[in-house]
Amino acid sequence: MHRSLNSFWILLLAAGWLTQSCVPPPADPVHHSSEEEITSEPNPQALKYFMDAQLYMNQENYSMAILELQEALELDPSAGAILVSMAECYWNLGKVEKSESHLKRALELNSGDAEALELLANQYAVLQQYSKAELMFIRLTELKDSKSDYFMALAELYMIMKRPKQATDTYLSAYQSFPDRIDALEQAVELLLRLKDLERAQENFGKLILIDPANTRYLNIFVDLVLLNKNEEEGIVVLEKVNDLYGKSEERLSHIASLYYQSGNPQKATEILNNIRQEFGMSSDVISQLTTIYLEASEYDSAYKYSNEFIEHFSDKPGGYVNRALVAVNLEKYDDAIKVLLPVSEKFFDNYSIQYILGSAYHSLNIEKKAEEYLLRALDIYPESRGVKHTLAIMYDSQQRWEASDSLYTALIVSDSSDAQALNNYAYSLAERGVSLEKALSMALQAIELEPENSAYLDTVGWIYFKKGNLRLSLKYIQESVEIENTNAVVLEHLGDVLTSDNRISEAADYYKKALDLDQNNERLKAKVIPE
């Protein structure tokens, strides 16, 4: 708490004292507020003692300083500056209670004595008397001539007290009262993110990008928040305002295009992206966005064109190859996807998308050894990939590598108990094997609880009941599945099997025939269909 004072600071202290009364208070003293001005002149001899005390304090001779201050106080008992200095001396001598007592006396004389409030707040904070410190800092922030540092100190105190919401509000108040304190706004937005108060975080990141439009981090977080909050229109307004104030930027325009697209206006997004190309030249991000828009609109010719353009101009980046392969996958041309990606799979060995799409394409072509190789590469790159784990689990299940598939399904369910696909697929696998049927049923019922209208999941429950010999419930669930979707050959065959077990042979034959029409090369179905 020691404060080193040179002659300049001594004069300032003396000047501060000049605003306080040196006349002894009346018998019933009046306590002055911070709004009151006291203009009587100080006692010259008291001022001399006070300044001598400051010199002793500067030499860290606090005992001698107290003696001088006591002399000054006898001559001018209403001078709060003397009491504050005495409090500081007592504090440095370790006499905490005396220090507090003198500061309280100073505040009785002038409830708005900023120096007394500040010293008392800091002392309470050091003593970990945080509630008392809070009250002092609040009083400091309420002063007419308050300082930004008081708000910042109060916010930091709230963080120590583990009250981040109040800290956030205080930082925002600091910025509102002192707009030059950008650091207060920065602290507030970081806390809003931690508190998951995404609406207010978006609002205040919007303020930050208006202050610092070149800050890429602010821009990216703001756009992410806009998308999370589904406030695309508000985001567009803010970004367009920034462009109006500071001039257009390729990055901001690209984000505006993305927000238009996410808000359901792909035509406007495409228009902006093409304008970016004309104004700023070729950009990999812009071409990639255009490709994605056309891919999701199933306009594969345009998507193919832009992915080729990407490869032509940015062959050192993986995006073009990935997008061209996705066009092929969407058209179920898995050979074409492999032809695009295989030549660059080593060059972009660490690219998850390339390895995953390659593995999935091989899997779709039943080239399982190659599929496993590239899927495992993708999993090494991104160990948390649920997509890869699902694909591998299905593949291992079909190969009857059940230890491997069960392990993957278990990991998927443990990490996310709401993964209906994993619950259903694992349950169906167990049912097909005829093992752990109670466990299978429990998982299958969880899956349809999560997705009640999923026909495949309803079929799984019905199939498990069939395996358990409960024809009534089996028929109920599988019929419900067929009512939702009647174009799945497996489900139609299941219904035929249940009806056959219930001696409803003619009805079963109709469903076997429908199933065979959908899967004409299925030898098992051919054997079940009754020749006409």
Q: What is the pLDDT of residues 380-407, one digit of tens each?
A: 999 999 999 999 999 999 999 999 999 9
- Residue 530, judged by CB atoms within 10 A of its CB (0-12, 13-18, 19+), counts as exposed
Amino acid occupying residue 373: E
In a domain, 373, yes or no: yes
Residues linked to residue 32 through DSSP beta bridges, in sequence order: 110
In a domain, 431, yes or no: no
Q: What is the pLDDT of residue 376?
A: 97
Give the count of domains, the chain. 1
Q: Report long-range pairs for 33-39 (Cβ below 8 Å, ≥24 apart).
A: 33/110, 33/111, 33/112, 34/110, 34/111, 34/112, 34/113, 34/114, 34/143, 34/144, 34/145, 35/112, 35/144, 36/110
Q: What is the pLDDT of residue 436?
A: 95
Point out the residues of the chain with pLDDT beneath 50: 1-39
In a domain, 398, yes or no: yes
- Cα distance between residue 528 and residue 495, in whole Å: 12
Task: Specify the residue for token string 């220090």.
Answer: 99
Nearest to 423 by CA among 466, 404, 498, 415: 415
- Cα distance between residue 532 and residue 522, in whole Å: 18
- Cα distance between residue 478 and residue 39, in whole Å: 94
Contact (CB, 8 A) for 272 and 253: yes
Contact (CB, 8 A) for 76 and 82: yes
- Cα distance between residue 231 and residue 236, in whole Å: 9
Q: Report long-range pairs for 328-333 (Cβ below 8 Å, ≥24 apart).
A: 329/357, 329/360, 329/361, 330/295, 330/298, 330/300, 331/300, 332/364
Q: What is the pLDDT of residue 43?
A: 84
Contact (CB, 8 A) for 114 and 140: yes
- Residue 351, judged by CB atoms within 10 A of its CB (0-12, 13-18, 19+), counts as buried
Q: What is the pLDDT of residue 42?
A: 72
Q: What is the pLDDT of residue 487?
A: 92
Task: Specify the residue for token string 């001039």.
Answer: 247
Nearest to 220 by CA among 237, 199, 202: 202
**pTM of the model as a whole:** 0.70
Number of C-beta neighbours around residue 403 at 10 A? 8
The alpha carbon dihedral of 107, 109, 115, 119 has a sign of: negative
Amino acid occupying residue 12: L
- Cα distance between residue 166 and residue 391, in whole Å: 47
- Residue 133, judged by CB atoms within 10 A of its CB (0-12, 13-18, 19+), counts as buried
Helix (H) or strand (E) holding 94: none
φ, ψ for residue 96 (rounded to 5)?
-65, -45
CA 447 centroid distance within chain: 28
Q: What is the pLDDT of residue 529?
A: 86
φ, ψ for residue 110 (rounded to 5)?
-150, 100
In a domain, 352, yes or no: yes
What letter does residue 24 receive in the DSSP assignment?
Answer: P
In a domain, 233, yes or no: no
In a domain, 141, yes or no: no
Domain of residue 369 covers 332-408
Q: Report long-range pairs for 501-504 (Cβ below 8 Å, ≥24 apart).
A: 501/466, 501/471, 502/471, 502/475
In a domain, 393, yes or no: yes
In a domain, 402, yes or no: yes
Q: What CATH code is carried by the domain that includes residue 393?
A: 1.25.40.10
Nearest to 57 by CA among 9, 100, 125: 9
